[in-house]
Structure 1
Amino acid sequence: MSKTIRLDKYLSDMTSETRSKVKEYIRKGRITANGVVIKTPETKVDTESDEICIDGKQVGYVEYYYYMMNKPQGVITSTEKGKTKTVMDVFKETEVNCPRFDELSPVGRLDKDTEGLLLITNDGELNHKLLSPKNHVDKVYYAELRNPVKASDIEIFSSGLDLGDFICKPAKLEICDSENKFAAKITISEGKFHQVKRMFEAVENEVMYLKRLSMGSLVLDKNLQLGEVRELTVEEIIRLKEI
């Protein structure tokens, strides 16, 4: 979407340079807008129609970024720096460079020992839509369990499991292989703290391994290794926004 912003903000948003460094570039005449040298940082430019260049190299404007991460175990879903490694620390270790990295945040949370799909974006509106209870966005997990899944578990999950402090919405529990009833897929439309683990605990079972496979229309890329990140395709973004 087109909008008008200050030239120095435009450049600081789209480069790794600080606002003061960008202003220095502008004052030195290194920046052009539509072929004209601009030397005032506060000059307003249109993010869509104006062609902005640094030393003759065009710098396009992108407002929102969308990334898929295959979250590894042992890291927490947080943007805050601390003693424990975060998913944003993992992001920094990849070769993916986002000019607006400081604006990014994960959508929802995965437990420290849970692997799989994690959406990371600076699109606050989409973040809110995906997490809003009223939208009932399905999340699919693969679980390996201490005990085999029973037929009665499937019925209990589908009827809405009572965890004491809240009653889960109906969930879909599927045995992955008729020969291996220790592995299952579960689809939930909520995201309560430790929900999947607590649901299995409620039927006297224990999750030994947990991986998120999908969130809404977004499916974990099978080619994405643990700890890797890639940008979403245009099609994936469009489908996600069709909530």
Structure 2
Amino acid sequence: DMPNEDFNFGPGSLGSQTLMQRRNAMAKIPTSRVDRLLSSMGYGSRKDMARMAKAGGITLDGDDLTDVTMRIPVTPDLPTRMEVDGEPLDPVAGMVILLNKPLGVTCSHKEEGGLVYDLLPKRWKLRDPALSTVGRLDKQTSGLLLLTDDGDLLHRVISPKRHVTKTYRAKLARPLDGTEGSLFASGELMLEGEEKPLAPARLEVVSPTEALLSVTEGRYHQVRRMFAATGNHVEDLHRERQGGLSLPDDLAPGQWKLLSAAEIASIFA
């Protein structure tokens, strides 16, 4: 009889390659003990997770998960399969949050007063890796602020080499004089106390005392200092856009949303 080629798993065969690909794919998926995973996501200590599991507070694929020492694959679809205390699991590592930052809160973990992290679920302060803001908005600047636990993504967004544009709406104390657009676009504007001129920026006039300014750098108080260099003063500053991502109209100050993979990709569009 002729051999059945469907069962030919010799070297170089299609079957051999398929098995190898499957093994490689499985090897790339990280695994974690349930208690360790949930603890790193801020849900509580490992003992807390064991108590919650015994009380039926953790489910996986619709079934109670009582043994928190078991290892499970940490796949992106885990939040659709696992519930903790009756709620879907938070996103695993790689979470990106868009926050409409209100006035009066600070992009810091340690400063006194209101912090942007106070606007998020309390457990997220305990995540490891920790959540960090992608750049900063000062206390008196509102609008689009990204936060993530993905260090690589954070550095890609803020890297000067990526030229990710940030667009601000500035309301000014005095009317524009008409020279600002060409000055900001020239690439020759030098801010006080600095030795390198600013990269070209784009100004769009909205009204005599209001403009949209798009910059690719993130120097200290850059937008305010740019208008100060023209003899004007920014009274109100709001970030509306970062890269190809805009602040949603229905996201009120202090509210946040988790970004999808497509929305994250749009930052670099």
Q: TM-score, normalised by structure 1?
A: 0.81
Measured in 1, the distance between the counterparts of 2:213 and 2:255 equals 24
1:74 counterpart residue number: 104
Answer yes or no: is 1:195 the counterpart of 2:209.
no
Which protein has the larger Cα radius of gyration, Structure 1 or Structure 2? 2
Task: Report the CA distance between 1:150 and its aligned residue.
Answer: 2.3
Partner residue, 2:264: 237
RMSD: 3.2
Taking the aligned partners of 2:103 and 2:90, their CA distance within structure 1 comes to 36
Q: How many residues align?
A: 233
| Partner SS state of residue 239, structure 2 | strand
Q: Which residue of 2 aligns with 1:126?
A: 153
**Shift of the alpha carbon at 1:157?**
0.5
Q: CA deviation at 1:6?
A: 2.5
- Alignment check: 8 A CA contact 1:16 1:99 kept: no
CA contact (8 A) 1:10 1:61 kept: no
What is the 5 A alignment of 1:47-86? 47-48=74-75, 62-80=92-110, 82-86=111-115
Matched ranges for 1:135-146 at <5 A: 135-146=162-173
Deviation at 1:25, TM superposition (A): 5.3
CA distance 1:20–1:208, change in 2 (3 Å): same
Offset, 1:117: 0.5
Whether 2:186 is the aligned partner of 1:159: answer yes
Please tell me the residue identity of whatever aligns with 2:208.
K
Cα distance in structure 2, aligned partners of 1:174 and 1:100: 41
C-alpha deviation, 1:111, in angstroms: 1.0
Deviation at 1:14, TM superposition (A): 5.0
Mapped pair 1:185 → 2:212: yes
CA–CA distance in structure 1, aligned partners of residues 91 and 165 of structure 2: 32
- 2:142 matched residue in structure 1: 115
The separation in 2 between residues aligned to 1:15 and 1:101, in whole angstroms, is: 5
Cα deviation, 1:49-81, whole Å, max 9, x if unaligned, reads 99767799986862222211111111111122x
Name 2:254's counterpart in structure 1.
227
Q: Which residue of 2 aligns with 1:105?
A: 132
Determine if contact 1:65/1:123 at 8 Å carries over to the other structure: yes
Aligned to 2:198: 168
User: Which letter does structure 2 place at the counterpart of 1:150?
Assistant: D
Unmatched segments (≥5 aa) in structure 1: none
Alpha-carbon displacement from aligned partner over 1:114-163 (angstroms, at most 9, x marks no partner): 11100112121111111111111100000011121222111110002111
Kept after mapping to 2: 8 A contact 1:13/1:99? no
- Say which structure, 1 or 2, has more relative contact order (CA 8 Å, 6+ apart): 1
Greater shift in the superposed pair: 220-229 or 28-37: 28-37
Distance 1:32 1:72, change over 3 A: closer
